[in-house]
Amino acid sequence: MSGTILVLNGPNLNLLGEREPQIYGHDTLADVEAMCRAEVAGTDYTIDFRQTNAEHEAVDWIQQARKGYAGIVFNPAAFTYAAYPILDALKMVDCPVVEVHITNIHRREAEWRSHSIMTQVVTGIISGLGVNGYPLAVRHCLWLGGRGR
């Protein structure tokens, strides 16, 4: 099997490693990208790694990946809670979608942070494993691809 896995990151993740490192750690988004690319090394899969602070851009990228991609790994960040256009775009996706959160959103300080609207349409969720959740999500997409979904 072969294909492309979209790794999509939401708002403020461009500042990963700088923004609240006591919560999100010291790894940068470039480190996360390297981890994801290492996961597909030696396979026929590629990583399409993106980050946006703009909801409309995330919708466009999800729509582009909805057919023909092997999977989507998505850290919606602040889009998690109220980005209904993104939720609607995810409903149209044919490939597996793994929602990733660096922190355990169910243990966050504010009640509203523990409820993801995306969870209702994704294949699975990885939450609280730090940036290690990303390569695990990529691995899951690879596993599904090898099994023919």
How far apart CA 87 and CA 125 sit, in angstroms, is 15
Whose CA is closest to 101, among 45, 6, 23?
A: 23
Query: Does 24 qualify as catalytic in the annotation?
Result: yes
Catalytic residue, candidates 24, 45, 69, 134: 24
Report DSSP letters for 48-84, one per residue: EEEE-S-HHHHHHHHHHHTTT-SEEEEE-GGGGTT-H
101 is catalytic: yes
Catalytic pick from 45, 69, 101, 134?
Answer: 101
* Residue positions annotated with a catalytic role: 24, 101
